[in-house]
Chain A
Amino acid sequence: MDTKARIKKLTMVAILLAMALVLSIVESFIPFGIPGVKLGLANLIILLSIYYFGFWIPLAIDILRVFIASIVTGTFLGMGFVMSISGAIASFLLMYVFVRWIKCFTSVGASIIGAYVHALAQILIGVLYMNSWGIFYYFPVMALVALITGTVNGIIVEVLLNNSYLNKVVASTKKQAETSSN
């Protein structure tokens, strides 16, 4: 890959990471009354990157966003951080499987699965962390929020995927990268 193509790809990834980060930090200021529960708006960027870049880039964006957001919000390496990172990875893997392998759902279905699994993984890590099923009390509220935001995120991703300008930009970046690597 030549320098120009590499810079173009790097810039796109940096923009996606910045967008995911801003959404993560903004949603951390929206109180839900439940530790670790957020709207999950950043999932939108992760899902979009899965469609555009496959596995490694979205995974890197997802992990980096959780690390940086937790450092900014002062929860790094705490219980909230462990719940966030596990939820993020679990939701990423499930979304990837349903977008790339089991293609029975559209972006809406994949987003709902991602949001729901995110909530479930967070709760299960909380159960392990506290050695008590007590935290499961919060699951219904988290699941309800996940269903709503998952659906909204999925619809937004579908609209973005049908945006011809965005598709053109991503396709040209990919093509340039592929040509220069050959």
Chain B
Amino acid sequence: MADVEKKEKTKKFFLRHIWDFVLLVALSLGTASVFIARSINEQRKEEDALVATVYKNNQKMEIKDEHGKSVNPFVLSTINDEKHFTIEGSKTDLVIAVKHNSICVYSSNCPGQECVHEGWVSHPNHPIICAYNEIFIEIISHSWEEIIVG
């Protein structure tokens, strides 16, 4: 008797939640396909160069090295030694570090520190964002011809 009651309860539960399950499965499949698309998008051709551009409030920032030469966008593939640049965010200063094929936010005074926790990024299409300072670092893979012509 108890078994029948239990079965009936389980059946009722599944019938009541059937559309919830359908929704969960559909959204899970959608998310999985976006995950796969992202992984494909993240791969870089070995012969291509990696370029990082730093934006503040949607505008490309003017970042200069010790010789006064403009370095933004950074062609990360041509950098050999690690270099640090202090930039002015919307609210606080940040230190950006670049090395061969990698870029990171080295330090920031923002409360969340999400940008710093992101660590070194060396894949194209993986952005670094500091929402607090409205800083957005876009990393793109470019062919060398595009860089020389551009």
The reply on A54 being an interface residue by CB < 8 A is: no
When chains A and B are docked, how far (Å) is the Cα of A40 from the Cα of B112?
17
**Chain B residue nearest to A139 in the complex (CB):** B34
Contact B117 A140 (CB under 8 A): no
Contact B27 A134 (CB under 8 A): no
**Chain B residue nearest to A130 in the complex (CB):** B136
> Would you give the shortest CB distance from A102 to chain B, in whole angstroms?
10
User: Which residues in B have their C-beta under 8 angstroms from that of A74?
Assistant: 111, 132
User: Which residues in B have their C-beta under 8 angstroms from that of A116?
Assistant: 27
Contact B34 A143 (CB under 8 A): yes
User: Which residues in A have their C-beta under 8 angstroms from that of B127?
Assistant: 132, 134-135, 137-138
Which of A105, A134, A147 meets B19, CB within 8 Å?
A105
What is the number of residues of chain B that contact chain A, defined by CB distance less than 8 Å? 34
User: Which residues in B have their C-beta under 8 angstroms from that of A83?
Assistant: 131
Contact B27 A135 (CB under 8 A): no
Contact B55 A130 (CB under 8 A): yes
Q: Mark A127-160, 1 if CB is under 8 A from B, else 0.
A: 0011110110111100110010001001000000
**Chain A residue nearest to B111 in the complex (CB):** A74
User: Which residues in A have their C-beta under 8 angstroms from that of B19?
Assistant: 104-105, 109
Interface-located stretch among A18-26, A28-36, A164-172? A28-36
What is the number of residues of chain A that contact chain B, defined by CB distance less than 8 Å? 37
Residues of A within 8 A of B (CB): 31-36, 73-75, 78-80, 83, 104-106, 108-109, 112-113, 116, 126, 129-132, 134-135, 137-140, 143-144, 147, 151, 154
Q: Can you list 29 contacts pairing A with B, beta carbon distance less than 8 Å?
A: A31-B113, A35-B115, A35-B131, A74-B111, A78-B131, A78-B132, A78-B134, A79-B132, A80-B131, A105-B23, A106-B16, A108-B17, A109-B19, A109-B24, A112-B20, A112-B24, A116-B27, A129-B58, A130-B136, A134-B125, A135-B127, A135-B129, A140-B35, A140-B38, A143-B31, A143-B34, A147-B24, A147-B28, A151-B24
